[in-house]
Each structure stands twice: as structure tokens, then as C-alpha cells.
Amino acid sequence: MIPSAIAAYAATPARRRTLIVVAAHALIYAALLIWMFRVRAAADEWPTPFEFGSLLMVFAMGMGAFCGSITQAVAANRADRGETEEPIRWIAIAISSWLMVLILEAVEWVRMYYLVQLGPDTPFGMTYFAITGAHLVGIIVCVGWFTFCLINVRQRDILASALYSHFLAIWWFVIVFAIYFPNMHPLKNI
């Protein structure tokens, strides 16, 4: 017997399609991580470019992802109750949260490329930009989907978009533990 809270995530065709998309993305992202670990094992030298400031950015991005995901689920809940105005506000907050994550991730890319000078021509930069780039594309798709839901909250399956958002938020924390923490030098530049 599946609990009703979990069963709600597979209750409609849109949500089941979203689960398939999430599974496909999880496989792609897992393949990217395996590739990163292989490149790291083959590399002669692997840098530790992340410092305390990067940790603050990572924390802000994690909280933005978490807030964007939760607020979209709240919007779905309010829309299921038949409300119209309140879900629009919650979706706007979710879009704003994910846009903040998008901007901070772009700032981190600029820092890695121009300041740390670990571009895609280095083994670390190649894997970093591929993995975080895949996440960045996912965020853009998520924000577009949220905007699509915002246009007509009564007709859209908002919980399906929240499910994809949950996946992106969880994936961000996987990125943090797979890329940021192992390649961090916390006392650098302090």
C-alpha cells in the first residue's frame, strides 16, 4: 500500500510523464557523475578551487532550490483547493527562487572561468561545467514550466512541475556533495 502523500505524485498522466522524465534525467546526471569520477581518477592533478565564499554561494543556491521546490508544492496544494490568486503568488515566489539560483550559478561559472581560470579546457573545468551546465538547463526548463503553470493555474498540473523541481533541488545537493565539498579548501583566501 502506497501512502496517499506519495501516491499523489503519480495520480495523473502528467505526473507519471514527469516521473519518467525525472528518471531519464537521473540516469543522464548519474552518467555525468561517473564520467567526472573517471576523469578525476585519470588526472595527474586535481585542483581545490572552492573556498569559504563558494560555500556561502552553494548554501544560498541550496536554499533557493529548496524554497522554489516547496513553494511550488504549496501552490499546487492551494490550486487543488480551488483557489486562484494564492497559487499565482506562490508560483511567482517559486520562479523568483529558481531565478536566484540561476543567477548565482552563473556568477559561480564566471568565477570559475575568469578568476580561478579553470575553464572547459581543463579536466576539472570540463566536468564541472558539464554537470552544473546540465543543472542550469534543468533550471531554465523548470522556470519555463512554472511560467506555463502561472498562465492558467486552474488548467495546469502544478504538482507535476513541483515534482520536477523537487528533483532539481535534490540534484543540487548531490552536486554539492560530489563536486563542491570534496574540492574545497575552506581556509584559502581567509
55 falls within a domain:
yes
Residue 5 lies in a domain: no
Q: How far apart are CA 149 and CA 161, in angstroms?
A: 8
pLDDT at 1: 54
The 10s digit of each residue's pLDDT in 32-87 is: 999 999 999 998 888 888 888 888 999 999 999 999 999 999 999 999 898 889 99
pLDDT of residue 118: 86
- Predicted TM-score (pTM) of this structure: 0.89
Q: Are 58 and 184 in contact (CB under 8 A)?
A: no
Residue 188: per-residue pLDDT: 59
**Cα separation, 133 vs 127, whole angstroms:** 10
Q: Is 157 helix (H, G, I), strand (E, B) or coil?
A: coil
Task: Give the closest residue to 169 by CA, choosing from 69, 72, 22.
Answer: 69
Specify the pLDDT at position 3.
72
* Residue 1 lies inside a defined structural domain of this protein: no
Segments of the chain with pLDDT less than 70: 1-2, 5, 186-190
Q: Whole-angstrom Cα distance, residue 137 to residue 118?
A: 21
**Residue 53 counted as domain residue:** yes
Residues 6+ apart with CB under 8 A from 48: 183, 184, 185, 188
List b or e across 170-186, with b for residues whose CB sees 16 or more CB atoms inside 10 angstroms.
ebbeebbebbbeebbee
Q: How far is CA 81 from the centre of its chain?
A: 28
> Is residue 45 in some structural domain?
yes
Domain count, the chain: 1
pLDDT at residue 53 in the model: 83
Check residue 186 and give its pLDDT. 67
Range(s) of the domain holding residue 160: 11-180
Q: Within 13 Å, how many C-alpha atoms sit on residue 33's CB side?
A: 16
Q: For residue 187, what pLDDT is reported?
A: 64
**Contact present, 25 and 138 (Cβ < 8 Å):** yes
Q: Look up the CATH number of the domain holding residue 53.
A: 1.20.120.80
- Which pLDDT value is given to residue 7? 75
Q: Is residue 4 part of a domain?
A: no
Residue 147, domain member (yes or no): yes
Residue 2 lies in a domain: no
Judged by DSSP in three states, 50 sits in: strand
